[in-house]
Amino acid sequence: MDIGSIVSQSSALSQARTGDAVAILVMKKAIDAQAQTALQLLEALPPVTNNPPNLGISIDVRV
């Protein structure tokens, strides 16, 4: 191997690392944006009304 190919490979690896770091940063920002949107959707839901205490206690099942 000559020095030129070693320098070329080193440069390529450095660019690959930089590209990976950028891709991870973009992915993290996209996940944060999705989390914020999901939170806004959850906050937009109407409040849950409480059912009477006798509802939801038992299940009638016949086979």
* Rounded distance between C-alpha atoms, residue 6 and residue 9, angstroms: 5
**Higher-confidence position of 3 and 41:** 41
pLDDT score of 9: 81
Digit-coded pLDDT (tens) for 5-58 = 777 888 888 888 898 999 999 999 999 999 999 999 999 988 877 777 777 777
pLDDT score of 1: 57
* Rounded distance between C-alpha atoms, residue 23 and residue 17, angstroms: 10
Full-model pTM: 0.57
Measure Cα distances from 49 to 33, 59, 62 in Å: 30, 21, 30
pLDDT score of 30: 97
